Structure 1
Amino acid sequence: MGIAEQKTVAERARQTFDDLTRAERQLANALLDNYPMLGLESITAVAESAGVSTPTVVRMAKKLGFGGFPEMQASLRAELQATISNPIAKHDQWAASALEGHLLSRFADAVTENIRQTLHQIDKAAFDAVAGLLSDPERNVHVVGGRITRSMADHFFTHMQVIRPGVTQIASNSNSWPHYVLNMRAGDVLVAFDIRRYEHDILRLTEMARARDVTVVLFTDQWGSPAARHAAHRFHARIEVPSAWDSTAVILFISEALIAAIETRTWETTRARMNELEELFDKTRLFRKFV
């Protein structure tokens, strides 16, 4: 099984959630709320934290496809190691298991598989719910990204700014973030992007936003940023490719699909804004015209 095909414990829990018993769902929610750290505790500590029995922990581990709790815990330890891997370690991991064929083909295969697995796990009702939130003119939208994910946040903001008013891009300098939080109102939406080697500043920002009754929408990877504990909605995208760097292709795909959904919902308003924007472009002669 290739790296891109391995499922995390969190992915297994989300996929099998509807088939779990009430106690097992309670345990799954506890694990996902403090992922992966709770699962690394002793089986007794895990059971006590989730308010379930130790046999429930064993049963759920088996339902997730593991031989038992120790095997699930070993998988969690491997995931934790993966989330803190630096670019050099990621390159060496892929180089050691490199298959035959041109890198372009291997890279394309990895991205294609990432898209397939990610789409299989996305809840379409949750996707529509996020589109509805971001289409609501009564809610201001705030967008933020980290060191690597800042470009995706910028891409999302640029399109959202055309679609509707009331959209703010939070500056990259985290020292200024309290100023942005000051302007957040209850009911607003914070869209955050954060993938592995997760950033402390993103975690703190989402925590402060949630404390102000702001709805957090998080784009993250298959393991899940710690900021997920403050997010009402999460999009988990697979990011591993044969490179020292992670791929954000699937996250971009989901965010662009979301942009299309929002645009469709708000088309009358969006079309008027687009027409006005085109007039402004003509006045500034930003784009070259051939006729």
Structure 2
Amino acid sequence: MTDANQTISDRIQKELDTFTRAERQLALSILENYPASGLGPLAALARSAEVSVPTVARMVQKLGYKGYPDFQADLRDELSAIAKGPIAKHETWAGAAPSGHILNRFTEAVIDNIRNTMAHIDPVAFDSACALVADQKRHLYIVGGRITHTLAEYLFMHMQVIRPNLTHVQSTSNTWPHYLLNATEGDVFVIFDVRRYENNTLKLAEMARARGARIVLFTDQWRSPVHRLADISLTCRIIVPSAWDSVATTVLLVESMISQVQNLDWDNTRDRMQELEEIFDKTRLFRKFT
């Protein structure tokens, strides 16, 4: 890529306001089915976006490429990165491993992920996501996948303290269709989906959307297919020197959301916290040293 720290999607979104009307139409068409949308012939991309061939050539150059073949080469690299399993990812990294201790190298990678994520996240979209999650008139469903179920559980546990009217959906279970029985228009689904994107998570999102639910998506820089259905997508960079991707940046956004949601109705949150502490005291769940 022309910039190793940015995906093509990152660059398109960064430059979106500088594009002409036709270029913006093209950019949105590419993002709609990213990254597969740009893998065909130039003329086919122009036709699907309903723009001219010269418009495609101009926009590609604005993104920093000499021509369409270079643009496609980066898209193919991204598609390959999305499909990589743990072993392939480790071998790719290990071949160019930098010097220094893993603690330093890993920390630097995580800090770079955080900086890049914060540079591209839309604060208005984040605030809107928090407002949806905090709205107690809407039933809140929280969904994770094979790995991200731990993030879903973490968010759910805190939301249980902050607000009523919520459900933790076990998306990896065959029972998840049962949860949709109670989903109604205006309910909110918070969905976690990162590479390698899970088919049942996409199907759940499709069915939730069909029932009129709102969707807040936590995903990676390549963006889950669920993003096409989501009202708000919060993308996080996840690459670290490991066979596995990092959840550190996603946890940062989740904890920031928890903080914002509790503050949106602090009086109610405080009362629920106090009541929970009283329950803890009665159950003697925790040791007391006074």
Rounded Cα–Cα distance in structure 2 between residues aligned with 1:120 and 1:193: 21
| Per-residue deviation, 1:6 | 2.7
Query: Which whole-Å CA distance do the structure 2 matches of 1:109 and 1:136 have between them?
Result: 37
Q: Residue in 1 aligned with 2:275?
A: 276
Runs of 5+ in structure 2 lacking a partner? none
Q: What one-letter code is carried by the residue in structure 2 that aligns with 1:29?
A: L
> 1:45-84 maps to which residues of 2 (within 5 A)?
45-84=44-83
Task: Confirm or deny that 1:8 pairs with 2:11.
Answer: no
Q: Is the 2:172–2:200 Cα contact (8 Å) retained in structure 1? A: no
CA RMSD, Structure 1 to Structure 2 (Å)? 1.4
Paired residues, number: 290
2:150 counterpart residue number: 151
Q: Which moved more, 1:98-107 or 1:177-186?
A: 177-186
Instruction: State the match for 1:106 in structure 2.
Output: 105
What is the SS of the residue equivalent to 1:67?
A: coil
Check the 8 A contact 1:174/1:201 in 2, yes or no: no
TM-score scaled by structure 1?
A: 0.97
How far did residue 57 of structure 1 move? 1.2
Structure 1 contact 141–191 (Cα < 8 Å) conserved: yes
Name the amino acid aligned to 1:272. D
Aligned-residue offset at 1:277: 0.8
**Runs of at least 4 residues of structure 1 off by over 3 A?**
none
Say which SS state the counterpart of residue 187 (structure 1) adopts: coil
SS in structure 2 at match of 1:240: coil
The CA deviation at 1:146 is 0.6
- Counting only pairs closer than 5 Å after superposition, residues 201-212 of structure 1 correspond to structure 2 as 201-212=200-211
Aligned to 1:119: 118
1:177-256 paired onto structure 2 within 5 Å: 177-256=176-255
Q: Give SS of 2:170's match.
A: coil
- In 2, the alpha carbon distance for the partners of 1:191 and 1:134 equals 8
Contact 2:217 2:227 (8 Å CA) reproduced = yes
Q: Distance in 2 between matches of 1:52 and 1:115?
A: 36
- Distance, in Å, in 1 between the alignment partners of 2:259 and 2:286 is 23
Distance 1:275 1:64 in 2: 53
Q: Cα gap change, 1:44/1:174 in structure 2, threshold over 3 Å: closer, same or farther?
A: farther
After TM superposition, the structure 1 = structure 2 runs for residues 31-50 of structure 1, keeping only pairs within 5 Å, are: 31-50=30-49
Deviation at 1:61, TM superposition (A): 1.1
Question: Identity over aligned residues, as a percent?
Answer: 53
Which string of whole-angstrom CA distances, capped at 9 and with x for unpartnered residues, describes residues 41-94 of structure 1? 111111111111111111111111211221111111000000010101111111
Distance in 1, matches of 2:21 and 2:182, equals 40
1:2 deviates by 11
Corresponding residue SS for 1:234: strand
